[in-house]
Structure 1
Amino acid sequence: MRIPDCLERPVISNIVAGLITAVLLGIAGLLWGNRKYLAVLPALSPGARRVRVSMAALLRVKDEDCYVLFSHPYRPGVYGPPGGVVKYAEGARRTLDSVGFVEQRSAARQAAMRHDLRGFLPLRSVISFLRWYASGRDRESAVDCVRRELREELAEVGHPELVPLAGALTLTLVRGVFERPPKYGRAERVVRRFDVYDVIPDDPDAVELVNRLVALGRDPAEQQVIAVSSADIELGRHGPFLVAPQSAFLLGTRRFNADLPPLR
């Protein structure tokens, strides 16, 4: 039996509206299920063949508007907060292979960058990689990363006497930031995670470490550890020294300056 013309149009309209509603609900469900990663979606443009990822943790050592930065061992004149890239465990190799992760290492730092969660992924694998990272499986925690990096960097800046004070620091998370800097070249996007921690002054060693680092930063004769203000971080410079752009995350979730040229 033929549907009368007066009824056919409303029926078709209802079908179309139902399909549109179903699509919108599907998109909403997808976004809700991946809501933790909405910040990275602009980096996942269809034109990108691969995405560079880096998972890092930083330590904020401060006294009022005074932030302690360490000299970079491979970038003379550049200073940034203690911390570095989280490392994966041997057990993660199968998972990382399954998502197509390829490590990024500079020729001069092959040993130091071993097992770093810094490298390249196919566009389709980024969310899967981030979900694995969020699970905490087969990798060091961000807290352990900060402790390890701090011990290493204290020796690098010429103050190994402070390493024993950093052995069992209690840390508290200040913020986690997914950063989306501009794409590199024509076909590469970047997704970086920074977790920023403060020291909890719950024992004498922690208090002494913070106090001594602040004192070193304020010592004009000290060249490896400096103390900068929030204005210096925004400017990207403290006197003759450059302030590394990731230092901005000691203050908030927004960077102020462009990346320094990458090392090779």
Structure 2
Amino acid sequence: MIYAFLTLVSGVASFFISNSTVVNMTAGFSVGMLIPVVDEVGKNWEQLRHIWYSLRYRNRSIRVSTSYLFRVVIDGKYLLIRGTRYPNQFQPVGGVHKVSPQGSAALSAIGVVGDDLIPVDPSSDGDIRVRVPGRKLVQFFRWFDSREGREDSPWREFQEELLASGILPAEKFPHIMHNYLRRDVDKIRYSPWADSLEILVADIYELVPNPEQQRVFRRLAQSGHPNLVWVTPSEIQRRGATPGQPQSFEVAEHAQRLL
């Protein structure tokens, strides 16, 4: 993009100015002004996209679901756990962010309401699966990025799915170390399942087990636990299928975010 702009500026300048030094100075100055602009746009692209959505869909309701996922890799294989709502498929450890009472008040103030697509039960109560007025989308993401009034740690789902369930010995995991990898914010789309416009958000973490925890995971991988699978990147991409073999399990689509 910058090189194309440089060529254009040079061409226009040379048409009006015969001095090559002046032409090069003009082009150089223009590019020097453009680079920080392009850099700033790149840094704030998501925010600009949400501003556009809030204008285009200002009178629509947009479903937003935010979650966090754990990448757990031992000896090149990824750990997936059997889903609770969809027991026929395996998915990453993790789940939907929770909102605090203070966060709920902040969301209510901008017209955000709960999503009724999944029945509310003790497990889903407080989930950030919400319906956001289109014109308030920027305010919603500003609140979400502030981390105020919402869950800001991946520990809860790790503890619930792997420790409280008895899959891992709690005494070996009094705490965990993890790296924050990235945030995926999907482009807005129409979801037939939700019958609405939808934006999915996912924070991706990578578990960094200590040597003793690695040994525990290796023993777990050899145990053949019925609620777990250890899969290769290829199996994740193919949703659990292996060429030339009968498919014995299904991998959730969102597991691809781990790659």
**63, 74, 81: which one aligns with 2:92:** 81
Evaluate the alpha carbon distance shift between residue 91 and residue 164 of structure 1 in structure 2; reply closer, same or farther with a 3 A threshold.
Answer: farther
Matched, 1:222 2:221: no
Q: Distance in 1 between matches of 2:76 and 2:49?
A: 29
Instruction: Give runs of aligned pairs for residues 183-262 of structure 1, distance below 5 A.
Output: 183-185=190-192, 188-201=196-209, 206-219=210-223, 221-238=224-241, 239-251=247-259
> Partner of 1:178 in structure 2?
185
8 Å contact kept, 2:50–2:137: no
Deviation at 1:163, TM superposition (A): 3.0
8 Å contact kept, 1:169–1:199: yes
Deviation at 1:91, TM superposition (A): 1.1
Could you report, residue by residue, the CA deviation over 1:127-178 in whole angstroms, capped at 9, with x for unpaired residues?
Answer: 110111111111120xx2x21101111157542x523433421211112111
Q: Distance in 2 between matches of 1:249 and 1:157?
A: 24
**170, 188, 195: which one aligns with 1:163:** 170
Matched, 1:55 2:66: yes
Gaps of 5+ in 2: 1-37, 242-246
Q: Distance in 2 between matches of 1:47 and 1:96?
A: 17
DSSP 3-state at the match of 1:116: coil
**How many residues are paired up?**
213
**118, 135, 139: which one aligns with 1:124:** 135
Gaps of 5+ in 1: 1-27, 252-264
Q: CA RMSD in A?
A: 2.9
Matched, 1:137 2:174: no
> Partner of 2:46 in structure 1?
36
Evaluate the alpha carbon distance shift between residue 136 and residue 236 of structure 1 in structure 2; reply closer, same or farther with a 3 A threshold.
Answer: same
Q: Distance in 2 between matches of 1:79 and 1:213?
A: 17
Evaluate the alpha carbon distance shift between residue 126 and residue 169 of structure 1 in structure 2; reply closer, same or farther with a 3 A threshold.
Answer: same
Deviates more, 1:227-236 or 1:59-68: 59-68
Could you report, residue by residue, the CA deviation over 1:8-34 in whole angstroms, capped at 9, with x for unpaired residues?
Answer: xxxxxxxxxxxxxxxxxxxx9x96895
**62, 84, 105: which one aligns with 1:94:** 105
Evaluate the alpha carbon distance shift between residue 147 and residue 229 of structure 1 in structure 2; reply closer, same or farther with a 3 A threshold.
Answer: same
Per the normalisation by structure 2, the TM-score is: 0.72
Deviation at 1:43, TM superposition (A): 6.1
Q: Distance in 2 between matches of 1:76 and 1:184?
A: 22
Deviation at 1:48, TM superposition (A): 6.9
Could you report, residue by residue, the CA deviation over 1:178-227 in whole angstroms, capped at 9, with x for unpaired residues?
Answer: 123631249621112111111234xxxx43334433442354x3211110
8 Å contact kept, 2:204–2:257: yes
8 Å contact kept, 1:49–1:187: no
> Partner of 1:154 in structure 2?
162
DSSP 3-state at the match of 1:75: coil
